[in-house]
Amino acid sequence: MNPQKSLIFIHGWGASCETFKPFYPHLKSEFIIYDLDLPGFGKEKINKAMSLKDYADFVRDFLGKNQIQNPIILGHSLGGAIAAKFALLYSERISKLILINAAVIRKPNLKTKIIRKSANLANLFLSQKIKNIILKILKLENSDYAEINNPILKETFKKIIDENLESNLPKIKTPTLIIWGDQDKETPLEHGRLTAKLIHNSQFHILKGGHFIFFDQPKKFIELIKNFINE
């Protein structure tokens, strides 16, 4: 394996660059490892409502600043959607793609419709107390949206849940590894199967576990990554 190969980790919603640090000791002898905080998370400030393209452009700029060429990009959940968007926009700048329980498919459902509509109403005239009551009644008080305090991040959330990459996934030509937890309730397994079907140059592995499958199956997670990059 080329010891100079660069591996970039992109975390999911509500997380930070700390997410994958427990795995670095098992990879640092074979890769140059990079991570980053996405705008709005960790230590990275957010100045405007972000779309997937905005986040992909942020990753592009990160590569430029650090002079990283042809990296492998690994993304989890929202990070997976950003990584996929990056592969669609800047395929010439990436060597391989790894998607972990990636939020690339957004099917319209009652929950997201309620979140969007209640958020719009709340932004107009409802107090925080009333918003919390509404979210509790709708059983959304523990949702990602309910936990956001930053108004710019709230707008980002509403933009992102509308971005469905399904129709564009067949355009991804980058060699892709897809790993999914069979008990994932955030990005259901059916979305993983469809993602693998639509990205033709891909490998698909289902592991026993949930949305954070790398914590449920750490050894297998590392093994799959190394085998894929070794090919």
What does the domain layout of the chain look like in residue ranges? 6-106+164-230, 110-157
Asked whether the predicted pLDDT for residue 203 surpasses 60, the reply is yes
Contacts of residue 41, Cβ cutoff 8 Å, sequence gap at least 6: 11, 13, 14, 15, 16
Q: Average the pLDDT over 49-70 and give the result.
A: 97
| Predicted local distance difference test score (pLDDT) of residue 159 | 87
Q: What is the rounded distance in angstroms from the CA atom of residue 49 to the CA atom of residue 47?
A: 7
Give the pLDDT confidence score for residue 201 in this predicted structure.
85
Confidence of residue 95 (pLDDT cuts 50, 70, 90): very high
Least confidently predicted of 24-33, 105-114, 136-145, 175-184: 136-145
Please check the confidence at residue 15 and state whether its pLDDT lies above 60.
yes
Q: What is the rounded distance in angstroms from the CA atom of residue 164 to the CA atom of residue 106?
A: 5
88 CB neighbour count, 10 Å cutoff: 18
How confident is the model over 123-141, as a mean pLDDT? 47
Which helix (H) or strand (E) segment holds residue 125: the answer is helix 110-125
Q: Residue 167, Cα to own-chain centre: how many angstroms?
A: 18
Average the pLDDT over 62-82 and give the result: 97
Exposed e or buried b per residue across 14-24, where buried means at least 16 C-beta atoms within 10 angstroms of its C-beta: ebbbebbeebe
The top-level CATH class assigned to 6-106+164-230 is alpha beta
pLDDT at residue 108, rounded to an integer = 64
In this prediction the pTM is 0.85
